[in-house]
Amino acid sequence: MLLRGLAGAAALTVAIVLVLIAYKVVDQAGDAISAFGLGFITSTEWNAVTNQFGALDLIWGTAVTSLFALILAVPIAIAIGLFLSELAPRRLRAPVGALVELLAAIPSVVLGLWGILVMGPFLESHIEPWLNIHLGFIPLFGGTPSNVGLLPACLVLTIMVVPIVASISRELFDSVPGDLKAGSLALGSTRWEMVRSVAIPQVSGGLVAAVILGLARALGEAIAVSQTIGGALGRPTSIFGSADTLASRIANQYQGAATSLQTSSLAYLATILLVFSLVANISAQLIVRRIRRRMGTR
Amino acid sequence: MTIRDDGPRGSDKMRTMTESEQSGQDESGAERADIVLARSQAQMADIAAKHSATPTEGKPVVLGLRDVAVAYSGAVAIRDVNLEIHKTLVTAFIGPSGCGKTTLLRSLNRMNDLIPGATVSGSISYHGHDLNASGVDPVEVRRRIGMVFQRPNPFPKSIFDNVAFGLRLHGMKDNLHDRVEKALRHAGLWDEVHTRLKSSALSLSGGQQQRLCIARALAIEPDVVLMDEPASALDPIATQRIEDLVAELKNDYTIVIVTHNMQQAARVADMTAFFSVDVQESGSRCGILVEHAPTVELFTRPSDERTEAYVTGRFG
Amino acid sequence: MSTEVNPLTIVTPRARRRKLVGTIMELVATSAAVLAVIVLLIVVVSVARKGLPALNADFFTKNPVPFGQTGGGIKNAIVGTLIMTGMATLIAVPVGVLIAIFNTEFAAPAVAEFVRLVLNVLAGVPTIVIGIFIFGLLVVGNGQSAIAASIGLSIVMVPLIARATEEVLVLVPASLREAGMGLGATRARTVVTVILPTAVGGIVTATIVAVARAAGETAPLLFTSSIFANAVVTDVHQAMASIPLTIFVDSESPSVADQQTAWAAALVLMAGVLIMGIIGRALSLRTRRQIERAR
């Protein structure tokens, strides 16, 4: 009986903590919420001197970096999942799979360190000038090469998102019944045609959930992004330019916040971030639940 | 002699027969055994009698197997297979479980390629051409030699899309609807599904799903259709429909069917190949081809005593 | 054998194209995997190469020196990380295991589903938000402390431990449970004396993985233990130095000496995390096999 009580209490605690997190964050944002209301979301101000703050540029930065990271990471990750599930020789599957997961185990601060001190300068001296010269007519590649900015931040996020989506994809592809695969191949399909027409449609729901989880990871990353993105305000048109995200701004400015309104505004940013991440996570969970239910009834 | 179902009385007699054999009974026991032997053989003969005694007359060879052996990572699963599959005939592979019938079947359309470590030795020729020659594309092989599996495996798509799958794959998209209809009619499924071609294939019953898989295989107009125990997962009525279907299909297709059900082979096959398990002193087991003959002959006058033992129910 | 060309080798242009597309896609998939491994190697090798030169006995045994001087180490950060991660583990393991026990032994299926949902959502909350949460809950008015940091880290660890423990508990065969209860033991006693010992390998693995994760977390520390002295602190009511924060701060410093420290600290952290990851994995395989054998 004691055990049951303790165990139940533990479970209850977790639920309470979740609610408490939401409450406390919103609570600390209180001053900013009353000062700016919903206009905070559409304002591009961020000025500690005039005490005017707004989230728009940060939301933009979060959206852009996350989307960019997803666009790069998802195809790569699904390809890795396919490799591990279908293509790799049996003996290679475990080791390569382990290596990909090790990529996820690298602490974000270490990745950020590598990002600023190794990848950033490399991009600045070798990649960005090349892009500038050859594709500079596209505004995306227009600006001045720099060792911090959207590009290094996006690449670091990509490195973080790939292992998450890849390991889920691999599990999904492993779960496709062998009968189905055999049926397709016996009709004369190539392996890729089997994957494209049978395996991927079979697991498409799960892939969506995996992508959403990858998105949630990218949205919430504060440390590595703050180390590599430059932290400037504004919405640059070039990926060489510097910007900021919700999480990164909180990480950068919380300690040195000049006014309590600034602190409160940072908490407001955290509230917005929490809402985004909750929406993403809960959607992913609901999709997974729906898939499990459908599998159970078949 | 009437064909009687091998009911409880029959199997009681079988049990009695084996018991008496084992206890080394007197001659009256042996006589009883002979009577039973004669009766079951006669049953089979009756069933098989509807097939010609010389079915291969005038039928060219489609698949020729010479000294074929299949091994998985060095462990031989079946060996010493020499036989010929003739055009527009039904050839059945029968034998106890573990004798490699399915393994052999799968090597006929290069499906064993998908199992790492699987090797095929000897020669399998298709219309005279080596199936395993370098440069042979397994995709081309499977377009001509189709397969129906033991458990129905329709794709989670609509009925129409299931049948159209192979057609779209191989660029046979002209008159897609007509081709789909033709395949479904051929498989005896059209009447039941033509009003709901867009509904999911998974909404069909087990027997219907299997006929859908057959339609799917027929749609791309294969030369040969391989069937791996196609009715073993189905109820008796659905099984009957599949057997009737096989009897019709053989007019247009060459069919090789693996079955663990002897009566089924007797009913549908023109030629039957009996496989068995060969146990070495080392204890290693491997399948071998024992006998390959017109079905009527195999069941009435088997030339090998192992065949005789199997078809009279003494083992397996 | 016929002497004509083998028709099975002749491919129509369409079939040739299909085969080519298939080969290309297989190449793409392989390249993606190779790319991931290469990136991993690049990062690990970078950290090793840049961090190794600074690794000496002093690094582990001395505290940081005032700005401008050379030498010194990160002893306070190492001690701090050990203490804070240790305390977080002491909190997270009982809580996580209890939740897993609740889900597998006591909860109705719908309730367990809900708890799992909560755990998954909690796992997805950005750690920076957790930092702000703890800040508002414990730091405001009281100042920073290692305890606050540990609680923040434990929130990160609990979902990981709970999920992994539940996976192991589920593997324990029902026959064991029945045997225990059949002998007259209460459910609680069965759990404690029969089931937990069987699952202990999995719990240890789950803990190792969670510790590896917590040791590298920076964001919660930013709010709870970021202002600290250059000396070892053992008072848990004070802020302590930590390895991740050292890396974070030094990575953005213009001083080359600081950057060197950052690399070396990153090497220590990464080595620790990777080793724990490998041990965790090996243990997990062994436990799984043990339980499968017991079935």
pLDDT digits (tens, 9 = 90+) for B190-239: 999 999 999 999 999 999 999 999 999 999 999 999 999 999 889 999 99
- Residue C234's pLDDT is 86
Residue A220 confidence class, pLDDT cut points 50, 70, 90: very high
pLDDT value of residue B2: 31
Residue C286's contacts (CB-CB under 8 Å, 6 or more residues apart) are C201
Q: Tokens representing C52?
A: 């190794």
pLDDT of residue B316: 44
* CA separation for the pair B159, A148 (Å, rounded): 55
Q: What are phi and psi of C96, to 5 degrees?
A: -65, -45
Are B159 and B197 a contacting pair, CB within 8 Å? yes
pLDDT of res. B32: 67
According to DSSP, the residues that pair with A202 across neighbouring strands are none
DSSP single-letter state for residue B200: B
pLDDT in tens, chain C (295 residues): 455 677 777 778 888 899 999 999 999 999 999 999 999 999 999 999 999 998 888 888 888 887 767 777 888 899 999 999 999 999 999 999 999 999 998 889 999 999 999 999 999 999 999 999 999 999 888 889 999 999 999 999 999 999 999 988 888 887 877 877 777 767 777 777 778 888 888 899 899 989 999 999 999 999 999 888 888 888 889 899 999 999 999 998 888 888 999 999 999 999 999 888 888 878 877 777 777 776 6
Lookup: tokens for C250: 């030094």
3-class secondary-structure state, position B93: strand
Residue with tokens 């990777």, as numbered in its chain: C274
Tokens of A251: 């990480």
Touching subunits for chain A (3+ Cβ pairs under 8 A): B, C
Q: Report the CATH number that the domain containing residue A170 is assigned in CATH.
A: 1.10.3720.10
Q: Which is more confidently placed, C87 or B313?
A: C87
Under 8 Å CB-to-CB from B48, ≥6 apart: which residues?
B266, B295, B296, B298, B299, B300
Cβ pair C94, C203 in contact under 8 A: no
Total count of residues recorded for chain C: 295
Q: Residue B80, SS3?
A: strand
Residue B294 has φ and ψ, to the nearest 5°, of -55, 140
Chain C contacts to B (CB-CB under 8 A): 1-2, 4, 6-11, 14-15, 18-19
CA–CA dist A284, C123 (Å, integer): 13
Which letter does DSSP use for residue B118 in this model?
A: E
| Residue A245 and residue A225 in contact, taking contact as beta carbons nearer than 8 Å | yes
What is the structure's pLDDT at B12?
40
Q: Tally the domains of chain A.
A: 1
Among left, alpha and beta (phi > 0; psi -120 to 50; other), residue C141 is left
Q: Which long-range contacts (CB under 8 A, 24 or more apart) does A126-135 make?
A: A128/A240, A132/A240
Structure tokens at A11: 């479970």
User: pTM, whole model, 2 decimals?
Assistant: 0.87
Cα–Cα distance for residue pair A131/A142, rounded to 1 Å: 9
pLDDT of residue C176: 79
CA distances from B134 to B115, B131, B199, C14 (A): 18, 9, 42, 20
What percent of chain A stands above pLDDT 90? 64
Residues facing A52 on adjacent strands:
A47
pLDDT for residue C32: 95
CB C76 within 8 A of CB C228: yes
**What is the tens place of the pLDDT at every residue in A262-283?**
899 999 999 999 999 999 999 9
Is A6 part of any domain? no
DSSP-based three-state secondary structure for B96: coil
Q: Which of A170, A173, A157 is nearest to A104 (CA)?
A: A157
Residue C171 CA to residue C173 CA, distance in Å, equals 6
Contacts of A283 (CB under 8 A, 6+ apart): A212
The three-state secondary structure class of B229 is coil
pLDDT for the residue numbered B281? 79
- Find chain B residues with C-beta within 8 A of A201's C-beta: 156-157
Quick check: helix, strand or coil at residue B293? strand
| Per-residue confidence (pLDDT) for residue B9, from 0 to 100 | 40
C 132-191 → A contacts, CB under 8 A: 132-133, 135-137, 155, 158-159, 162, 187-188, 191
C-contacting residues of B 174-193, CB under 8 Å? none
Element (H, E) at C254: none
Q: What are phi and psi of B152, to 5 degrees?
A: -55, 135
Q: Is residue A5 part of a domain?
A: no
The values of phi and psi at residue A48, to 5°, are: -75, -20
Amino acid at A298: R
Asked whether the ipTM of the predicted complex exceeds the cut of 0.85, the reply is: yes
Distance CA C109, CA C114 (A): 9
Give which of B69, B61, B50 is closest to B3, Cα–Cα.
B50
| Strand, helix or coil for residue B275 | strand
The identity of residue B207, as a single letter, is: G
C33 contacts in chain A (CB < 8 Å): 79-80, 83-84, 88, 96, 100
Tokens of C169: 């508990």
Residue B136, CB-side half-sphere exposure with 13 Å CA sphere: 21
Residue B289 clears pLDDT 50, i.e. is over it: yes
Per-residue confidence (pLDDT) for residue B37, from 0 to 100? 63
Contact list in A for residue C45 (CB cut-off 8 A) is: none
Provide the pLDDT confidence category of residue A231 given band limits of 50, 70 and 90. confident
Q: What pLDDT was estimated at residue B58?
A: 82
Q: Specify if A111 maps to a domain.
A: yes
The tokens describing A130, both together, are 């090349």
Chain C contact for B131, CB < 8 A? Answer: yes
Report chain B's mean pLDDT, rounded to a whole number.
84
Asked if residue B294 has pLDDT above 70, the reply is yes
CA-wise closest residue to A100 among A160, A54, A26, A149: A160
Tell me the mean pLDDT in the region B70-90: 91
Residues of B with Cβ-Cβ distance to A92 under 8 angstroms: none
Give the separation between CA B94 and CA B289, rounded to whole angstroms: 10
What are B9-42's pLDDT values in tens digits? 433 443 344 444 444 444 566 666 666 666 666 6
Distance from CA of C210 to the nearest CA of A (A): 11
CA distance A213 to chain B (A): 26
Which residues touch A79 (CB under 8 Å, ≥6 apart)? Answer: C28, C29, C31, C32, C33
* Residue range of the domain that includes A141: 11-297
Q: Write the DSSP assignment of chain A as a string of letters.
A: -HHHHHHHHHHHHHHHHHHHHHHHHHHHTHHHHHHHGGGGGG---EETTTTEE--HHHHHHHHHHHHHHHHHHHHHHHHHHHIIIIIS-HHHHHHHHHHHHHHHHS-HHHHHHHIIIIIHHHIIIIIHHHHHHHHTTSGGG-S---SSSHHHHHHHHHHHHHHHHHHHHHHHHHTS-HHHHHHHHHTT--HHHHIIIIIHHHHHHHHHHHHHHHHHHHHH--HHHHHHSB---S--SSTTS-B--HHHHHHHHSTT--SHHHHHHHHHHHHHHHHHHHHHHHHHHHHHHHHHHHHHH-
Which of A177, A180, A190 is opposite residue B139, by nearest beta carbon?
A190
Closest CA to C140 of A260, B142, A223, B159: A260
How many helices (H) and strands (E) in chain B? 12, 10
CA B117 to chain centre: 25
Distance, in Å, from the CA atom of B153 to the CA atom of A186, rounded to the nearest integer, reads 11
Please report, as a single letter, which amino acid is at residue C209. Answer: V
What is the per-residue pLDDT across B128-182, written as a single tens digit (0 to 9) for each? 899 998 888 899 999 999 999 999 999 999 999 999 999 999 999 899 999 999 9
Please give the pLDDT value at position A217: 94
- Are A193 and B169 inside 8 Å of each other by CB? yes
Farthest CA pair distance, chain C: 93
What CA–CA distance (Å, rounded) separates C295 from C284? 17
| 3-class DSSP assignment, residue B279 | strand
Pair of tokens at residue C87:
């305390």
Does residue A4 have a pLDDT over 80? yes
Using DSSP's 3-state secondary structure scheme, residue B116 falls into coil
Q: Tell me which residues of chain C, numbers 42 to 101, contact chain A at a CB-CB cutoff of 8 Å.
A: 43, 46-47, 50, 94-96, 98-99, 101
